Amino acid sequence: MITNAKFLLGLALVGLVAAGIGIYAYGQSREYIRGPRIVVNQPEDGSVFSAAPIVVAGGTQNVAYITLDGAPIFVDSKGNFREKLLLLPGYNILTIEARDRFGRKVEKTLELVYNEMEN
């Protein structure tokens, strides 16, 4: 009887430890499971500008490689980026693409208008 109780207690303890390890592993890997993310803080999609030079800025998570219209951009240690660029007169489409180390990708597209007549 005591041997049976010890066995059940040991089995319950092993189950609790395994569940704890599983929950911990999920918590640590949750951000990697979600894949890469991009947040563009400026400019706002659909904005109209009267000056050609603008700044595109935002943040990333779980990104190994990021581009703005196909050109690599740099991200600081906190995942923030800030790129200056010139808009062409009229309608502009900017594409920010990011990939994580597993090859998953995400894209953000900004549609901006440069109206040089407003100057």
Same domain assignment for residues 26 and 79: no
Q: Which two tokens stand for residue 40?
A: 């563009």
- Residue range(s) defining the domain that contains residue 101: 35-118
Cα 55–chain centre separation: 19
Same domain assignment for residues 84 and 112: yes
In this prediction the pTM is 0.71
Instruction: Give me the number of domains the chain comprises.
Output: 2
Instruction: Note the residue count of the chain.
Output: 119
pLDDT of 1 higher than 70: no
Same domain assignment for residues 67 and 99: yes
pLDDT given for residue 30 in this prediction? 65
Strand partners, 94: 110
pLDDT of 50 higher than 70: yes
In which residue are the tokens 């935002």 written?
58
What digits encode the pLDDT tens for the residues 54-108? Answer: 999 999 999 999 999 999 999 999 999 999 999 999 999 999 999 998 889 999 9
Cα–Cα dist 79/62, whole Å:
8
Cα–Cα dist 40/57, whole Å:
6
In which residue are the tokens 């929950």 written?
23
